Chains A and B, each alone.
Chain A
Amino acid sequence: MPDLFSCLMKEEWRMHSTMFGSISFALFPVMIFGIVFMGSFLLPLLSVAFPAGDLAFLAHASFLLLGFMVGGFGLLGNEMMNRRFGQASLLVYSSRSLPLSERFIFTNFVVKDIVYYFFLWVLPFGGGYIAASPFFGVPLTRALLLLTLSLSFLLGLCVVFLLSSLYVRSKAACLLIVIFLGIAGGVYTIWSGTNPTLLFPPYLLYSAFSWMMFLGTTIAVVTMFLASVVLFSPEGTGLSRTYRRRLGRLARVLSFLPESPIVAKDFLDLSRSGIGIGQALFSFVLPLVVIWFFLSLLRSSFPPNGLVVIFSLTAGIIASTIYTWVTEFDSFGPYSCLPVAVSTLIAGKMTTFLFLQVLPAVFIGTVAGISAGPEMIAPAIVLCLSISIYAAAVMAFLCGLSPSVLVYDVRVLLTYLVLDGVALVLFAAVSFASSLYAFLSVFLLFPAYLLFRAAGARWDARDPAGI
């Protein structure tokens, strides 16, 4: 086990570091540390508007989401790994050539993800806060944050591993459990008048540490981890799946688009791989439901309708990651023998992305309608989609066809954060003033268009990755 584990760690490191250089990637946790360290000095100012407890709550929610996302990338990205790095090129596939069971590899893979991302994200974040805390008068006992953030991350990771193990065995059972949990949360909220996220164990531990709760949370993490290993069932290999021809018909239906074959292919990729449903569930609906519950606790800190505004902006950022769903399948390789430019491929992916914006539009429209009334539906949808399209255009410009890996480049990530951050702050401010001003966010479509055009020219001028 130690040998495989260390090899998996090396492989993960090299996969990232070869893409943008060892030093650049090594700086990533340093950057997280630096941002949190410096950001911590703003806490006394922020605490005027936000109670310190709320900020801690948001930090825990963020790490829960980080766990969701790391887990989702690791497992649902199976096909993506195949496409990007070639079949059987990763250690996770070594059961095909070495006397190692897939369950054994999976266990190592999960442990590797936990350790790797702990050092990449959790430790620098907690460390930055702890290092800064003496300077603004927070007692060092708040170092507990590092532990509780780690537990948040682990809970998110293990929930997704468990659900995805279940998903491979029975999609229906997995969906039923998610629906059941959603209904249970809703019923509990209505029945008790209490937001269920207040029961989130890591946050409770942070607020008032008790050994019993710590033990209970640890047992929950370990149980979910073991259950996901037991339930893990590698997807059937050696099966020849056949399908009726759909591409031609779909491309004809979409023939009004210049990149109709690429868009039609993307839709077939998403539906036949199961990644469309998996991503929609684990990378969109689930994180947003959790965010909603967390944000709703802060309702009193926002102006009227402010909660829906903030949620729309958050949903917009998460919806922009749909661009990563549609780029996960392809490197440029399979297109390199055809008269297709990288810019054409980006345009095709962006078109598919725009179609899939129906999902966030319906989601945010429903949430806004239920929580703030019908008058907030249109502003929420416009705000969410404008941010989403703008952020996706930023991603396309900065990362081309590799957004899910290039984001670990420090320069790329900082530029992404600045470009998105300016838009978020600006439109949060104006939409707080009046929800009608949310419609002003359509003006983001102009820079989005320019960025998209520039993305094509930028990535056409480089040797494409993946060939």
Chain B
Amino acid sequence: MAAVIETKGLSKVYGDVTALDSVSLSVEKGTLFGLLGPNGSGKTTMIKVLTGQIRPTGGFATVLGLDAEKEGIRVREKVGIIPEQESPPSFLTAMEYLEFVGAVRKIPDIGERAEKWFELLEFGDKKDVLCKDLSRGTRQKLMFAQAFIHEPVLALIDEPLINLDPVMQDVVKEFLSDYVRKGNTIFVSTHILEVAEEICSGFAILHKGKLLHAGSVADVTADGGHLPGFFLSLVRKGGHA
């Protein structure tokens, strides 16, 4: 299978802090891939580098065959992204924000697409509310909608279920699994291991910027094992597995 994400010796250093330390990773098309790691392990930095938001200080990354460093804008044209902490702009309404995304991405039927998302994530009653006045959960739904509204072949999501209630988490998990079944790829960064075990087929573990392990979830769970246990033992050993 073709790799949609490929990194080789990828590093990112902020001053004295090494956020990514020579990470080499490959993610194949049609997988729901989980990037796991404790807080501060470099997951968010990884997504930012892969989507060309920030530049690596070493190594390289290709996404959908594009150089993430040199062709960051083209990468962001093709993929969908949900950043961990970003909110939609304060003084646009929810509907206007999706119109804004549609205008930037040049999506002609943005109105119809937006309505589908309001319906799927059940927040149509908030479409004319200013983004700054939306609850965190509703903002997350909106960020979800903007990431998938152009039906990207690859989506990179930082903590997809954060702030969502259990019912909506279920809707989102089902959507993600279904989206991958259609041949698309999803790259999820999370530290909720149970969710990763439930929905991901492939995974990688980052710890202190280093790649500790990359493999398939099925391999870990084959003999009655669990991803959380595997993860904890690996991280507690500090990567000396």
Contacts and interface: CB of A to CB of B under 8 A. Distances in A.
B119 to A, nearest CB: 18
B56 to A, nearest CB: 10
Contacts of A239: 133
A247 B96 contact: yes
Contacts of A240: 126, 129-130, 133-134
A279 to B, nearest CB: 14
Given A333-B86, A334-B89, A337-B82, A241 B53 contact: no
A265 interface: yes
Most chain B CB inside 10 Å of its own CB: which residue of A244, A329, A338: A338
Specify which of A239, A268, A334 lies most central, judged by the most chain B CB atoms within 10 Å of its CB: A334
Contacts of B76: 337-340
Contacts of A22: none
Contact of A339 (B77, B134, B146, B147): B77
Contacts of A268: 91-92, 96
Interface in A238-271: 239-248, 251, 260-261, 265, 268-269
A269 B90 contact: yes
B19 to A, nearest CB: 12
A265 B91 CA distance: 8
Interface in B79-134: 80-83, 85-93, 95-96, 99-101, 103-105, 126, 128-130, 132-134
Contact of A241 (B51, B133, B143, B147): B133
Contacts of B100: 247, 251, 261, 265
B96 A269 contact: no
A83 interface: yes
Contact of A243 (B89, B130, B134): B130
Given A241-B133, A333-B86, A463-B55, A338 B101 contact: yes
Contact of A245 (B54, B81, B83, B93): B93
Nearest to A79: B90
A464 B130 contact: no
Nearest to B126: A240
Interface string A406-421: 0000000000000000
Interface string B2-45: 00000000000000000000000000000000000000000000
Interface string A70-88: 0000000001001100110
B173 interface: no
A334 B103 CA distance: 15
Nearest to B96: A247
Given A334-B87, A336-B83, A339-B104, A247 B92 contact: yes
Interface residues of A, number: 36
Contacts of A87: 87
Contacts of B87: 87, 334
B218 interface: no
A379 to B, nearest CB: 38
A329 B73 contact: no
B16 to A, nearest CB: 14
Contacts of B133: 239-241
A340 B130 contact: no
A208 interface: no
B136 to A, nearest CB: 9
A146 B57 CA distance: 49
B227 to A, nearest CB: 28
Contacts of B101: 338
A234 to B, nearest CB: 15
Interface residues of B, number: 41
A247 B91 CA distance: 11
A252 to B, nearest CB: 9
A248 B99 contact: yes
Contact of B53 (A247, A273, A467): A467
Interface string A147-182: 000000000000000000000000000000000000
Nearest to A462: B55
B235 to A, nearest CB: 27
A243 B48 contact: no
B147 A337 contact: yes
B91 A269 contact: yes
Contact of B89 (A260, A329, A339, A464): A329
A142 interface: no
Contacts of A86: 85
B213 interface: no
B74 interface: yes
Nearest to B85: A86
A28 B104 CA distance: 40
A58 interface: no
A272 interface: yes
Given A245-B93, A261-B100, A268-B92, A337 B86 contact: yes
Interface of A: 79, 82-83, 86-87, 239-248, 251, 260-261, 265, 268-269, 272-273, 329-330, 333-334, 336-341, 463-464, 467
Given A82-B90, A265-B92, A463-B53, 8 more contacts: A241-B129, A242-B128, A247-B96, A261-B103, A268-B92, A329-B91, A333-B86, A337-B86
7 contacts: A245-B96, A245-B99, A251-B103, A333-B85, A334-B88, A337-B81, A463-B54
Question: Which 10 A/B pairs are nearest by Cβ-Cβ distance?
Answer: A261-B103, A337-B81, A247-B96, A339-B77, A339-B76, A272-B91, A242-B128, A463-B54, A240-B133, A269-B91
